[in-house]
Structure 1
Amino acid sequence: MTPTTVADHSTSVSTSVQIRPRYEGSNICTWIGFKHVNYMVEEAVLDHFRQRGFPAGELYERYGLCVDIVDLDTKILTAFHIDDVADATVREAAGDGPGLRLAVELSVVRDGAVVRAVKSKVTVSLRLDPRGWPAEQVPAALAPYVVTALGRGGLIEPIVLNGADPLDTLTAGRNAYAWVWRMPYFYCHFTERVQMSGYLRQMEETLDLFVADRGVSIKKLLDEQNWIPVVPHSRITFVGEANMEEELYTVFTVENVFKRYTFTARTDSYVLRDGTLVPTATGRITHGWAVIRNRRDWSLVDFDDRLADALAGKPGSRSGRGSA
């Protein structure tokens, strides 16, 4: 089957595939972290394109189209373990605005029964490659999803610094932590742009730095209380594009603490261009903490005073900035 013979996309189209989590994501006991759960969602999306006759490699090589996930909203309902096999279903969904919208579900067998483990809403854009090599005409079925730049502009306003320190500006008056890191080539794809997995890494890294800055590092709570962080919900939306070797400024701001049980934080990312912080992505992540019961099981716990005070940003618990 070739791309030019595939029928137009519609909301009735769906595909399925089996996926295993990667060993790299098994960081605490045998549980799979939220970043690698999202990687499984990404694999299901790429396989959907493949089954529809539009493999990502061929789209780039023939048509100069870069398959980019630009919005990823994932709820984790059941924890994955390293030896699990997920049954993934991808369905094309209706929606407003640019991009192809997909609904992804991952299920897994528990005690002989199939349970839904993940629900994810995904938006994919096909970014025209700017590098100028010859390319074939884009298939008509894909034309509605083709863009010349990624992101939903207007979600975050640029910040003109007027000589101020970027990290101080991003954290002033907020219960927040900000850091900056030069984007390496291995956070990018299609030669130059930071991809969704790069932002997932940023979100994970910023949380790790945030709790360490507040005196409640992941290792500290693991050693002292056998507690680990868990993520039931994460979302990242592209606002613009960040490029290889640009410095990405990410600010992690605590928004809500729910009954000392979970907390939600917002992450906003910017690149510094001509004295202005230009937004490239925004997202939210929900965290709780769980106590490890044994090599297989854990259960959520209420925040103790030390953790609750750190999340609230009480005096003496934070510095608010960092760099790598």
Structure 2
Amino acid sequence: MNSTTLAPRPVLEPLADGVTRVDLRPRYEGSNICTWIGFKHVNYLVEEAVLDHLRQRGFAPGKLYERHGLCVDVVDIDSRITHAFHIDDVATAEVRPLPGDALAFAVEISVDGNPPVKAVSAKVRVELRLDPHGHPAEPVPAELAPYAVARLGQAPVKVTSPAAAGPAPEGDVLAGLTAGRNAYAWKWRIPYFYCHFTERMQMSGYLRQMEEVVDLFLADRGVSIKRLLDEQDWIPVVPHSRITILDEARMEEDLYTVFTVENVFKRLTYTSRMDCYVLRDGILVPTATGRITHGYAVIENRRDWSLVDFDDRLAGALEGAPAAPSTRR
């Protein structure tokens, strides 16, 4: 797992060893095609398992914030899905600490069965962000003080953009982000319901962003989700996704999201990268980056599907020349 380079810190004893377990059910909202659960809601299960682990170890996220002004932020989530979830499944999650970082965890989730079937393997990292608002709070406990940070992610990394010399038309920024790339870009205002702790976009917001930019990209290339469902009974499936927060994106800022197809492998899967930026003082500041792998499956009945090779239309759309940039508010 890539993470910010950190100075050595003392071991956080309550999190240093041991495994926690929790039973979870996927949310009904995630059952979009038949009864299968999409990758975003699978990652929600991973996140919930880590939060429950912290609660069981005496670090309930709500109390950390309310008493000490410490915000628990998931800043990296890397998940591999090996078995489909259905809406009525019971998921059993096991969380264990990863060596070398007291705030990094391995998560394994199994689907209830006889025997249970391993469905997800993930690695997650959290940070304890000091609340920037001036409300009174009790001192941060001594054992947590070495882990408290004033800002999420790495030191700000700035990328020169077409707007670097001053404000530029929106389309020029989007065009600059996709120039010479097999990519799609859009601009979007961050609403409060993608944020938490009163201020900034949270990991689940970036998962939603990744899901939507794929949908917009496919529609832009003429192979929308609905079109392939209507014409071929095909759906996209996700075996792997990862998102890393690099810096903070704030409520009501404009987020520029770029989706770039990196590789189409033997017409079986394709891998893509998502990069997110905010524009500050004429400079594009990266706030998150991620990768996602897709395959396609044909619906066989209301419960089963099987993987298919890409046909010429889909392969051509994925490998095609960059499309015109798009704006969506």
Which range, TM-score by smaller chain?
over 0.9
In the other structure, the counterpart of 1:185 is: 192
- How far 1:133 sits from its partner (Å)? 1.4
SS at match of 1:174: coil
In the other structure, the counterpart of 1:256 is: 263
**CA distance in 1 between partners of 2:79 and 2:160 (Å):** 29
**CA distance in 2 between partners of 1:149 and 1:68 (Å):** 11
Q: Does 1:131 align with 2:133?
A: yes
Select which of 292, 313, 319 maps to 1:312.
319
Q: Report the aligned-residue RMSD.
A: 1.5
1:220-259 matched pairs, under 5 angstroms: 220-259=227-266
Aligned AA (2:108)? E
In the other structure, the counterpart of 1:74 is: 79
- How far 1:94 sits from its partner (Å)? 1.7
> Which runs of no fewer than 5 residues in structure 1 stay unpaired?
1-6
In the other structure, the counterpart of 1:4 is: none
Q: Does 1:22 align with 2:23?
A: no
**CA distance in 2 between partners of 1:38 and 1:62 (Å):** 28
**CA distance in 2 between partners of 1:142 and 1:16 (Å):** 23
Query: What's the CA shift string for 1:96-141, capped at 9, x where partnerless?
Result: 6xx710111100134x221110011000000000101121122233
In the other structure, the counterpart of 2:88 is: 83
Q: Does 1:108 align with 2:130?
A: no
**CA distance in 2 between partners of 1:60 and 1:11 (Å):** 22
Query: What's the CA shift string for 1:173-231, capped at 9, x where partnerless?
Result: 00000001100000000001000000001000000000000000000000000000111
Asked if 2 retains the 8 angstrom alpha-carbon contact of 1:184 and 1:245, the reply is yes
**CA distance in 1 between partners of 2:145 and 2:241 (Å):** 29
> Which runs of no fewer than 5 residues in structure 2 stay unpaired?
1-11
SS at match of 1:243: coil
Aligned AA (1:12)? D
1:83-232 matched pairs, under 5 angstroms: 83-95=88-100, 100-110=103-113, 112-153=114-155, 157-160=158-161, 161=163, 162-163=165-166, 164=168, 165-232=172-239
Report the number of matched residues: 312
Fraction of identical pairs, as percent: 70
Aligned AA (2:76)? D
Aligned AA (1:158)? V
- How far 1:153 sits from its partner (Å)? 3.7
In the other structure, the counterpart of 2:326 is: 321
**CA distance in 2 between partners of 1:314 and 1:185 (Å):** 35
**CA distance in 2 between partners of 1:286 and 1:171 (Å):** 20
TM-score (norm 1): 0.93
Query: What's the CA shift string for 1:29-64, capped at 9, x where partnerless?
Result: 000000000011111111111111111110000000
Aligned AA (2:32)? N
